[in-house]
């Protein structure tokens, strides 16, 4: 069996989950990422796709089953290449909580795995008590009106705005429970937020692509036992698949319009834990529009609100003047 996951963190998490379920993971499972040897006698291989996509067909010929975790990512050329090398693999399963909403995306995945089935919606899982209830607070930052010709100029203005970053710091410190703050750019935003927030006695973790898998798994494990930890993490490392049941709040600190990224990120906070029945998303958005035309990231917010409506999430929009 070949189990393909998108990140090194999810290799470690999947292995640990198998242990927690009571299975003899050490006997049956083998982890591949980084410099680990690619060959083993163990029957279940858990690997990142990055570690195996360049291997030849002979290596893939031994597998009778392939499972794609976070299967929405399998539209990429490298993952299609892997599945093409496994054309004779009889059993093919892909699992995901999110597609991007386009028919083309669905067709690509069905070409790799077979017909798609939507088993159940997030709303039904919430109503049945399997997932936490979600409250969304859209915090719309009202800036001094100004026009940005380029999207990049607007983003740089937003992530370097001292008042905005201090607002995020104060919000994180005021919230009760464990909080995940998601950002896009490590040096120019993530590091800035971490330095602002990492004061006092609370446990504050900084996670980005340069943090190795074992350390990320340790952050996840520690947070499960904490009551007021703060994780400042990049979207790339913590928006998909990471399972922290004891997570109460999530803050979107950076603009995004991706349907998959938005809904996957929300999924981080929906796991139910001990005495946890609800969670809150703080979606920080920015209004800098001058005249009648919306600024770029305000249009991104409009896209995210469409996703919230599609998923039947409850949300409220609160305007906050910081300009």
For 252, the enclosing helix (H) or strand (E) is strand 249-252
**How does pLDDT run across 109-153, given as a tens digit for each residue?**
999 999 999 999 999 999 999 999 999 999 999 999 999 999 999
CATH number at residue 173: 3.40.50.300
The mean of the pLDDT values for the chain is 94
Looking at the structure, tell me whether residues 203 and 97 fall in a common domain.
Answer: no
Range of the domain at 179: 123-321
Percentage, residues of the chain above pLDDT 70: 100
- The whole-number average pLDDT for the span 226-249 is 90
Burial annotation 24-50 (CB, 10 A radius, 16+ → b, else e)? ebeeebbbbbeeeeeeeeeebbbbbbe
> Rounded distance, CA 270 to CA 242, Å?
11
**How does pLDDT run across 66-108, given as a tens digit for each residue?**
999 999 888 889 999 999 999 999 999 999 988 887 888 889 9
Looking at the structure, tell me whether residues 165 and 260 fall in a common domain.
Answer: yes
> Rounded distance, CA 80 to CA 20, Å?
32
Inter-residue contact 283 to 257 (CB < 8 Å): no
Number of domains observed in the structure of the chain:
2
For residue 42, what pLDDT is reported?
A: 96
Q: Which of 78, 104, 119 is the last residue of a domain?
A: 119
**How does pLDDT run across 272-296, given as a tens digit for each residue?**
887 788 999 999 999 999 999 999 9
Looking at the structure, tell me whether residues 80 and 161 fall in a common domain.
Answer: no
pTM: 0.84
Taking the CA atoms of the chain, what radius of gyration do you get in angstroms? 21
Inter-residue contact 14 to 44 (CB < 8 Å): no
Looking at the structure, tell me whether residues 254 and 136 fall in a common domain.
Answer: yes
Looking at the structure, tell me whether residues 76 and 144 fall in a common domain.
Answer: no
Looking at the structure, tell me whether residues 90 and 142 fall in a common domain.
Answer: no
Looking at the structure, tell me whether residues 302 and 209 fall in a common domain.
Answer: yes
Q: Which of 119, 136, 161 is the last residue of a domain?
A: 119
DSSP 85-106: HTTT-SEEEEE-S---S-HHHH
Looking at the structure, tell me whether residues 169 and 226 fall in a common domain.
Answer: yes
> Rounded distance, CA 295 to CA 146, Å?
9
């Amino acid at each position: 069996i070949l189990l393909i996951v998108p990140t090194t963190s999810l290799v470690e998490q999947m292995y640990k989950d198998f242990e927690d379920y009571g299975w003899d993971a050490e006997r049956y499972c083998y982890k591949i990422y980084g410099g680990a040897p690619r060959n083993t006698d163990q029957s279940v291989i858990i690997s990142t796709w990055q570690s195996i996509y360049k291997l030849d067909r002979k290596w893939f010929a031994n597998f009778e089953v392939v499972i794609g975790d976070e299967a929405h990512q399998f539209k990429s050329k490298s993952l299609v290449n892997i599945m093409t090398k496994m054309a004779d693999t009889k059993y093919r399963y892909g699992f995901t909580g999110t597609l991007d909403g386009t028919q083309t995306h669905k067709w690509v995945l069905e070409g790799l795995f077979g017909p798609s089935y939507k088993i159940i919606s997030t709303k039904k899982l919430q109503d049945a008590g399997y997932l936490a209830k979600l409250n969304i607070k859209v915090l719309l930052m009202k800036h001094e009106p100004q026009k940005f010709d380029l999207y990049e100029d607007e983003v740089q203005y937003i992530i370097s705005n001292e008042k905005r970053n201090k607002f995020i710091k104060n919000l994180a410190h005021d919230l009760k429970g464990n909080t995940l703050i998601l950002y896009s750019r490590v040096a120019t935003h993530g590091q800035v937020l971490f330095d602002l927030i990492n004061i006092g006695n609370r446990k504050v973790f900084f996670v980005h692509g340069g943090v190795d898998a074992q350390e990320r798994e340790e952050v996840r494990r520690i947070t499960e036992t904490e009551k007021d930890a703060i994780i400042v993490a990049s979207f790339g490392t913590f928006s998909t698949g990471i399972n922290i049941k004891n997570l109460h709040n999530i803050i979107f600190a950076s603009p995004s319009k991706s349907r998959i990224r938005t809904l996957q990120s929300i999924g981080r906070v929906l796991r139910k834990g001990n005495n946890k029945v609800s969670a809150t998303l703080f979606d920080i958005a920015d209004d800098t529009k001058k005249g009648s035309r919306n600024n770029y990231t305000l249009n991104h917010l409009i896209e995210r609100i469409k996703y919230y409506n599609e998923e039947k999430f409850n949300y409220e929009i609160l305007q906050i003047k910081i300009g």
